[in-house]
């Protein structure tokens, strides 16, 4: 066997040309970081204008550079640009093609910068813009919930703890719980944008530069609040990516909890909601089936986003300052998580607006499981002055009697109640229906329809200001 053949076998069949092919495959990032082309070109245009303004390059060279970059942008937008893995990344692909277009002037573009601060600004720009898109999608989802909450502010349903019937609530109140959850996600997205709104361009490789650059100019041109304040941190920081994945994971978890409820509610055993064919599929063998596949897939994709967060945390945990090639692993996780979360939010917003609410099934279930038992205990405290623990005991005996009679609490006779406690009057029946139960829960943030409508008004006003 020849030495060449033996070498090829040692390196493996996919890399027939040996170590060089392996290095190219592991080192190149153009397969995924070409997604940053718009940000890369924007950053280069801003950098070139600043260099010319500061007298570091000539106005003529800057004009050639900007015209060349705009031509490349148009070619990529039109699908005419040929990316090369041999040029490793988006930065070198653009720069090499710029040199072909305008000649030596292209070499002046990289004055006073490094690929380290170049990729940092490109990626930060992309994540900032994506976080703003996520925030807009969250507002749409919240608006969908507000509409359903207003429609069903008085629709009674069972509230659950441990997935056991606990107390009656309204479906509007349940919807408003998700408004609160997704509003926190919206707040996290906006907070994250505030923290990442600093421009690393000009930090160069890690130590800054001796050229008289104006970092405030490039920061402003790229839409950042201000430049970053430490060159070492500028090129080694990926907190913005981690924070994006963190808020994405929390948001996906909220979406997954909602998806789980939709899956449960759409079963024949519950029958609370029905999804249209737009968000369901049938069975290949059982014609009666209607599967909530969109909700199930939202639930499943949460694990994918969570995995990306843990993956990047693990990449970053042992890196010394400043830049290390390990950080090339940051983008695929963020790109995929962003695309996944975009799809999840769109699907869930569609399902919330699409699903048909079975108010009769909800009302029937709301009265099951002795859901108004707590109302009875509260009445005993208010009307008879019993200590709550004693009222709890009396209520437990009433529930046991109702179970024995196979009847709801409000079907027990007054004599039945008085056999448990002599002080009970017929006024007790005023608190034993689910409608009266929810109407009584008027504490701030409670399930009473009046309170639900108050919270809807609050959130509509709050969202209109942002």
Residues with catalytic function = 162, 283
Q: Which of 461, 465, 447, 464 is nearest to 177 (CA)?
A: 447
Residue 282: partners with Cβ closer than 8 Å, 6 or more residues away: 289, 290, 291
Tokens representing residue 60 in the block: 């003529």
Q: Are 276 and 353 in contact (CB under 8 A)?
A: no
Nearest to 172 by CA among 411, 454, 466: 454
Contact 151, 65 (CB under 8 A): no
What SS3 state is found at 203? coil
| Cα separation, 456 vs 153, whole angstroms | 9
Q: Report the alpha-carbon distance of residue 309 to residue 126 in Å, rounded.
A: 17
Q: Are strands 273-274 and 226-227 parallel, antiparallel or unpaired?
A: unpaired
- Which of 459, 462, 434 has its CA nearest to residue 448? 434
CA-nearest of 149, 142, 147, 153 to 183 is 142
CA distance 9 to 12: 5
d(CA 31, CA 24): 12
Three-class DSSP labels, 318-329? CCCCCCCHHHHH
Q: How far apart are CA 256 and CA 279, in angstroms?
A: 16
CB atoms closer than 10 angstroms to residue 90 = 25
How far apart are alpha carbons 178 and 7 in whole angstroms? 60
Neighbours of 38 (CB within 10 A): 15
Is the distance from CB of 437 to CB of 431 less than 8 angstroms? yes
> Residues 167, 284: contact at Cβ < 8 Å?
no
């Amino acid at each position: 066997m020849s030495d060449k053949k033996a070498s090829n076998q040692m390196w493996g069949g996919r890399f027939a040309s040996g170590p060089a092919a392996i290095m190219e495959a592991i080192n190149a990032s153009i397969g995924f970081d070409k997604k940053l082309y718009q940000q890369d070109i924007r950053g280069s245009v801003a950098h070139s204008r600043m260099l010319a303004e500061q007298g570091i390059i000539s106005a003529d060279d800057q004009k050639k550079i900007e015209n060349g970059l705009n031509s490349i942008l148009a070619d990529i937008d039109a699908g005419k640009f040929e990316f090369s893995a041999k040029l490793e990344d988006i930065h070198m692909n653009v720069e090499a093609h710029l040199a072909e277009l305008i000649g030596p002037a292209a070499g002046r573009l990289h004055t006073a910068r490094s690929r380290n601060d170049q990729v940092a600004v490109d990626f930060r720009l992309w994540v900032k813009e994506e976080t703003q898109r996520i925030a807009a999608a969250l507002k749409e989802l919240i608006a969908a919930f507000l509409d359903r909450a207003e429609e069903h502010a008085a629709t009674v349903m069972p509230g659950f703890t441990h997935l056991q019937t606990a107390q009656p609530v309204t479906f509007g109140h349940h919807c408003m719980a998700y408004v609160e959850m997704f509003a926190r996600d919206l707040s996290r997205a906006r907070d994250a944008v505030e923290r990442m709104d600093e421009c690393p361009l000009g930090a160069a490789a890690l130590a800054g530069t001796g050229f008289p650059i104006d970092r405030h100019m490039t920061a402003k041109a790229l839409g950042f609040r201000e430049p970053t304040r430490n060159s070492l941190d500028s090129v080694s920081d990926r907190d913005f990516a981690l924070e994006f994945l963190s808020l994405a994971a929390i948001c996906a978890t909220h979406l997954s909890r909602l998806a789980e409820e939709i899956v449960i509610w759409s079963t024949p055993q519950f029958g609370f909601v029905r999804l249209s064919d737009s968000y369901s599929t049938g069975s290949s063998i059982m014609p009666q089936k209607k599967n909530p596949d969109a909700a199930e897939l939202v639930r499943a994709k949460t694990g994918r986003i969570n995995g990306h967060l843990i993956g990047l945390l693990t990449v970053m945990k042992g890196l010394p300052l400043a830049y290390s090639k390990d950080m090339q692993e940051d983008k695929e996780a963020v790109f995929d998580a962003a695309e996944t979360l975009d799809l999840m939010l769109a699907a869930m917003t569609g399902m919330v607006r699409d699903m048909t609410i079975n108010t009769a099934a909800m009302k029937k279930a709301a009265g099951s499981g002795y859901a108004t038992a707590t109302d009875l205990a509260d009445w005993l405290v208010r009307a008879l002055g019993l200590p709550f623990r004693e009222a709890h005991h009396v209520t437990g005996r009433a529930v046991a009697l109702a179970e024995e009679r196979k009847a709801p609490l409000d079907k027990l006779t007054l004599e039945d109640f008085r056999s448990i406690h002599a002080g009970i009057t017929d006024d007790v029946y005023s608190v034993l229906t689910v409608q009266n139960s929810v109407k009584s829960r008027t504490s701030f943030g409670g399930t009473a329809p009046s309170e639900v409508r108050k919270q809807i008004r609050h959130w509509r006003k709050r969202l209109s200001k942002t």
